[in-house]
Structures are given as structure tokens and as C-alpha cells.
Structure 1
Amino acid sequence: MIKSFFKQSFFVLRIAIAWGLAVMLVVSIYSSLPLIGRFDLPAILFTFATMGLVVTGAFSHLHRVSLIAGRTDADALSNRQKRLVEIPLEAGEAFDLLDAAIRELPGIEQVQSARDSLQVKAKVARPRTYGEHPLRRWNPLLWFGLPRNQLQATVTPGEHSGRVTLICEPENPAWSDWFLVDDGTNYENAEAIVRAITRRIGELRRGERASAAQTATQKELTEAKLHLLHAQVEPHFLYNTLASAQLLTRSDPARAETMLGHLIQYLRRSLPNAGDEMSTLGAELERALAYLEILKIRMGERLDVQVDVPESLRATPLPAMMLQTLVENAIKHGLEPRTGGGTVWIRARSDDDEVAVTVADNGEGFNTKTSGTGIGLKNVRERLRLRYDGAANLSVIANFPAGVAATITVPANAPQRSASHG
């Protein structure tokens, strides 16, 4: 409290001394004038009136700054205010935000905005803080100087942010601060711009959080749909397999038992993964081979399977049921429509920290009658996009001399994003 009192007293004393010296100079010039210089009363009245108005004006400035800033230290009382603001945006975006915040300032005029140099300059009309006071024109603190403020703001680019240097000051030279006060208007301007920047950053962050929440919700819904799709065992496949096993129990019990064994193996590999997004190439290969073994019993010599997957790659993480989708496509749209059947190749290769898994056939190839709806491949691409954020892909090309080759390429060791949220 005592420290604040001394600061306030020093401020008033500084203004009074500056004006006192100026008044003494004026009075001395007046006294040196012939004839009228002999009359002391005008000089005395001028001195007391001027100093009275100066002191009351200084106290008025103190009171208003105290109301606005809640303190009366040297920084708050100063006519010239400087702020350093760190904006967590790229320099160009930070400049756009700063420019918009400045243009919102009441009384703003003559805005000069240079985006290339990341600089904004403007003039600000100084409000009539106390309205039209009857003694306003006689107030010495308003006798000279322009009744207007100005500001300059510069953005300094950082690595991931823009640093704003903001200066708010009177449109008068620095020496005028010994005689004039701004009634806290530049403090108000500086704080108003900082508040506007903070508010806009808050709006951006809220928008980003809302967008992220919406995206997360959409991803959860998409993942849920994909889980349902790949967790459901093909009803027709089950029906046909059981029907075939039933027929074989009468004519060839041994083959029927083999078929049911492969079906059990297929289901064992399928059902536990219904709630697990990630599997391994080895586990998915066993599931696919169990599926193909069942079909080999049904299709006989019409189906041949060739597998070339190195043991070292079988631990590669792979989304569940993805390989199965490619194998089912090769059978349904490639080999089953052909009277003579054909071959399914499954191979895997590693190159440049990536693993490529290919399922190829020598069936019908790209044919409007056998191409299906494309939902299976579309789901594979969508799951790769959600799981690997663009670091994985699916390519489907024509196989030579006939058929189709579908290749999934995934990072060999890159961490995959979790499919669950929360």
C-alpha cells in the first residue's frame, strides 16, 4: 500500500515538475516584456490555474488507470504499452488472426496491413473519456499533441507459432509523455487486442475439438460397421459347407470329416477376432487356407492353391479378415464362374520397411458379370485408411495372362493406430 502511494506520488510529482519548469519559462518570458511584464497578477493566476489543472488531471489519470488495470505501477501508468503474445499457429495464420483482432478495436481507422512483412499499423481515435467537460479546453494536458493513439503489431515466425509484438502509444513524440497523459486509453487498446486474440484462439481450439470429436465419432461408426462386416461368417458359405458335409457323410465319410475339421479350424480363427481389429499375417493365412481347403473338397481338381509366405513375415501385423476378403473375391469373382476352375496364389514379400501381401488368381479377370459390387475391396481400402493414416494401400491389377492380382501393402514395423476410442 505504501509502495503504491509513493509510486502515485512520484508520478504526480514528475508531471508537476515538468509543467512547473515550463510555466516558469513562460512566466520569465512574460516578466521580461516591457510594460505588461510589470503586472504580476496575470502571471500568478496563470501559474496557479495551470498547476491546479495539471495536478487534478494527473490524479484523474491515476484514478482511471487504477479502475482499468487494478494497479498503478509504472507499466500501467505509462502512455506507451507493449505486449508480447505467443500465438500457437503458423505465422501466416497468426497474422490473419491478429489483423482481424485489430480491426475489431473501437475507433480503429487507417489500418495498413502488410501480410508479406507480417506487420499491421493503424490509428485509433481517442475517446472522450469524461465527455464534454466545461473545463476541457482549459486543461493544460490537452493544450498540445494530437488527440489520437496509434498502434503497430509485428508477427515474428517461430517453429510452430507466431510471436506478436504489439505497441500501443499516443500519436505524439516520446518527450510529450513528460507533460501529457492518455487516461489509460493505450492500456485499454493493448488489453482489448490481447483479449480478442485469446478469444479467437479459444474459438479455433473449440472448433478443432468439435471437429476431432465428430471425426472420432465417424471413425467409430465406420469401424463398427466394418467389424460387423468382417465378423459375420458368410451365411451361404456355411450353408454350402454343411450341406456338402451332409452329402459326404453318406458317400465319403472320411472327406466329410476332413471338411468339418477345416470348417472348425476356419471358425476357430474367425470368431475370436470378431472383436479384435488386428491380427497377424500368419493367423490370417491359416484362416484363409482353412477356407480354401473346404473349397478344394467341394471343387475338387478345379481348385489349386499355391502359397509362398516366408516364415519371417508371418508375425507382421495385419487387420483381421482382410486377407480373407481378397481370397473370397478371387474365388467368387475369379474361379467359381469358370468351368475349369483355376489357381489361387498367396504370396508375401518385404521391401523397404513394407510388407506386400498378394492374392492372385487366373480366373475371369475384370468382367462386368463377375466383378460384384466392389463392397469388399472398398471396405479393405477404408480399413487401411483408418488404421494406417495413409501409410498402407490396396492395389488391384490384371494378372497375366488371366485373372486379377490384389496386393495389400502395410508398414512392416510402424505402430498402428488403435481402433478403439476412449
Structure 2
Amino acid sequence: MHRVAPREGRNAPRTALINDPKVRRFLLQALLAALLAFAAYSAVQNAATNLANQRIASGFGFLDQVAGFGISQTLIPWAETMTYGRAYVVGLLNTLFVSAVSIILATILGFAVGIGRLAPNFVISQLARWYVEVVRNLPLLFQILFWYLAVLSAMPSPRSALSILGTVFVSQRGVTLPQPVIQPGAAVVGIAALALIAAGAFAVRWSKARRDQTGTGLSKKASIALSIGALLILGACYVFAGEPVQLEPAKQGRFNLAGGVTMMPEFAAFVIALTVYSAANIGEIVRAGIQGVGKGQTEAGRSLGLKPGTILRLITIPQAMRIIVPMLTSMYLNIVKNSSLGVSIGYPDLVSVGGTILNNTGQGIEVIGMWMVTYLTISIITSLFMNWYNARIALVAR
């Protein structure tokens, strides 16, 4: 009996197409994209329906309305008659300010702690070690409350403020620093300072280029002599201009401090907590980066007769930075995001001011969306800058 062979020619292309991994991946991704689009559409429709039922107008028109509330710390002029949009900008500037100050201080302290952990001195290494172990294992929110409630709030009243060298006063109202007084002639000093900085940068670049070409650049004695000369020139310009920039410390009165610049206790406690906590983590990053540099590099420096400080500054740290910078970027991003905890002690940051706007207007979706976009933008800008810096110090094959 003769059997007819099945028509495999028609089904073979279709079967081969379905079994193609690329086609399956494309179909799965398209299905996932469709599900996400449907979920987003449903969420938008549901939010619009709820807002309509509660008679809440959607959109960002509320930013032009009068805010009607005060803000305790502002870097730009602020009054209760100004708009919600300006209030949001005030909160944003406060967040950027506390983040920038904390990043700078935490970086300095963190490098000192990281280097101290590897110091040959037993006392220094143990102090740095226990600082890291204690601070890293305490929650950041606890440390913020500790510095605010247990330290600054326990300070004496302004009339009995603690005096540091007669110029800095610490009281329940915060930390009062000398106030800079700028008089005519300050522009001359500023121009001279900028000119000297530009000349110093040119000298550094010239010395580096000469060292790369000939192996010798500016000697240490020449660098010290040029630095002293620059300081003398700047001092002469300052005296010639009539000492236009002076610091006037606050004066203690019977009931209050007169003059000076006062940092509110919320800001001071927040900066201290962020700095101390972040510096412990940065210290571990620096320690790991230094230990990641081969011991042969240090031994080569010793064989050349270099001092330990010179080896650390010119050999170890420059190579360790290639290991440190990627992890340091994450720490900087964490500092920016942790700045949102300032609301716990009443610091008027982005979250605190935005929360007040949300409560007054009921525009929850819009305010939360603004928070998301703002923090995302800050994080992206920080990452781009650190990636640029990381590319600058990366090893380049010749």
C-alpha cells in the first residue's frame, strides 16, 4: 500500500520561525511592553477619575498660587506672599546646599579615616577602626536625632553660649560664625586671587608636561617658594586695598547674640550627622582602594628613597583613585538621597517643603512626580560628573 508523505514544506518555515530565539525574545518583550503600557494607562485613568470625584484639578497650575507659609532657612529671598513654585525652588536649594557641604566634609574626613586605618601607628589605626565600626552600624536617622536632640538642643541659651576662640558661639539656636564684611576694594583682592590661581594652574600643567618629557619638573623647594611668593603678593594686595574683607564675630548680649551668621540647629545637626555617617563609609572605600594597589608600587617607591608621605601622595593615592571613584560615586548619590531625612528634624529641604505644598494643595501626584524628576536629575548629573572624572584618571594604553 502506497503512503503519501506529509506536506512538511508548508509547516517547516512556520515552525522554524517560532523556534527562533530572536523571534521569541521579541514577542516576549512586545508582550511585556504592552502589559506595562496597559498598566500605566489604567493607573492614569484611575487617578484622573479619583481626582474628578474629589473635585481636585490636575496639572501644575497650583505652582503660581500664593504659598502662604514661612520657611525657616532660605538661600534666596522668601516671603509668605510668594508662590508655591518659588517655595519648591527654596527647598531644592536647601537640599543642594546641605548635600554639597556634606559631600565636601565627608570626603575630607573619609580620606583621613581611610588612610588612618592603614597607619603604622597603633593608636591612630585603632581609633579609625572603631570609628568606622561604630558609626557604620548605627542607623543614619538615629544619628540625626542624636546630634539634634541630645547635643545641640542640650546646649545653653544664647546669653550663655559656648565660645570657641571668641569667634564661634554654640547655643540652642545653632552655631554662630563671624560675619564677613565686604568693603570697597574687595574686587582688587578678588582679581588678584583669580590671577594667582590661574598662574598656579599654569605652573602645575607646565611642570607636569616638563616631567613627562624630561623626567624633571618643579622641585619641592621651588614649589614652596612660589607658593610663599603668591601668598605674599595676595597679602600685599589685601593691605594695599585697605583690608576690604573682614570678619566680624558675634557679640554676647544680655539675652541674645548680636551679629554674626547663625546656622540653624537643624542644619548644623543634619550636616554633622550626614558627614560623620558618610565619612565612615568613604573611609572603608579609601582603605579598600589603597589596599588594591600592588605592594610592589610602594616597595619601588621605597627603593628610590622616597618618604612614606611622598609615596602615598604621588604613587599610591593616584592609582587607588581608579578603584575609589566608582564606589565614591555611589556614596555621593546616597548622600543626596539621604538628604531627604532632614524632614525628621524640621530642616526645610525638598521633601519638607514639598510635603507642605502637598498638604495645602492636595496635588499629591504632581508633587510626587516633581520629587521623582528632581532627585533623578540630581543623581544623573552627579553620575555624569563622576564618570567624566573617572575617565580623566583612567589608565590610557600607549
TM-score computed with the length of structure 2 as normaliser: 0.17
| Structure with larger Rg | 1
The answer to which structure has the higher helix fraction is: 2
The answer to which structure has the higher strand fraction is: 1
TM-score computed with the length of structure 1 as normaliser: 0.16
Structure number with the bigger relative contact order (C-alpha 8 A, sep ≥ 6) is: 2
